[in-house]
Amino acid sequence: MLFKSIKSVALIALGVVAIAEAHFVLQEPVSLGFDDDAEGTAPCGGFNASSRLNVTNWPTSGGAVGVLTTHTTVQWEYKVARLSNLTNWVSVTPTLNQTGVGNFCETLIPGKKAWEGESGVLQVIQHGVDGALYQCAAIKFVKPLRTAALVPTGCTNSTGVTAQWI
Ligand SMILES: [Cu+2]
């Protein structure tokens, strides 16, 4: 029992070290990639915005965006672009004020109704102490869901994480 708790404390400490250098990491949907040093590079944190290795279907009614964040006070922007025009990034939500570190999940980030059926890219921008940081995911805009959206198991909120739309 004692051994077990020491082990979990060690694992938690390791996890904190790992995320302490990570600004933020997009966990849901599958990101185009994460590079700590290039995360400040628009539009996709140093990764090719037109990469289509892992495409997530994105209901225009909204999908779940989960991140691991290490900055205590930030603002989030959620934008989308068509694959055919990756210079035109359109906001799909107001700006979000968020505090607290760890896992942060927004369950209903909308797609663009007018782009249903098209290939696109989701862009998540964090504004904080390190300036603007970028992560993207390859998506396809699909029809709205008729039922409640499923929240992926990787999309959770850590204790103490709060957020408010501006
Ligand atoms: Cu940072």
pLDDT of residue 52: 98
Check whether 50 has a pLDDT greater than 50. yes
Q: Which CATH number fits domain 23-165: 2.60.40.10, 3.40.50.2300, 3.40.1280.10, 3.40.50.1110?
A: 2.60.40.10
Q: How far apart, in whole angstroms, are the C-alpha atoms of residue 73 and residue 90?
A: 24
Note residues around ion ligand 1 (Cβ under 5 angstroms): 23, 130
The band of 21, judged by pLDDT with boundaries at 50, 70 and 90, is: low
Residue 139 CA to ligand 1 center (angstroms) comes to 26
pLDDT of residue 114: 96
Residue 37 CA to ligand 1 center (angstroms) comes to 10
The band of 146, judged by pLDDT with boundaries at 50, 70 and 90, is: confident
Q: Which amino acid is at 2?
A: L
Given a contact cutoff of 8 angstroms between Cβ atoms, the answer to whether 123 and 89 are in contact is yes
Residue 164 CA to ligand 1 center (angstroms) comes to 21
Residue 111 CA to ligand 1 center (angstroms) comes to 27
Compute the average pLDDT of residues 65-91: 98
Residue 113 CA to ligand 1 center (angstroms) comes to 33
Compute the average pLDDT of residues 125-144: 97
Query: Which of 145, 134, 156, 144 shows the shortest CA–CA distance to 28?
Result: 156
Given a contact cutoff of 8 angstroms between Cβ atoms, the answer to whether 78 and 29 are in contact is no
Residues in the chain: 166
Say which residues have a Cβ less than 8 Å from residue 54's Cβ, sequence separation at least 6.
29, 30, 137, 138
Residue 23 CA to ligand 1 center (angstroms) comes to 3
* Domain spans in the chain, listed from the N-terminal domain onward: 23-165
Residue 75 CA to ligand 1 center (angstroms) comes to 13
Average pLDDT over the chain, rounded to whole? 90
pLDDT in tens, 84-134: 999 999 999 999 999 999 999 999 999 999 999 999 999 999 999 999 999
pLDDT of residue 149: 74
Of residues 1 and 31, which shows the higher confidence score? Answer: 31
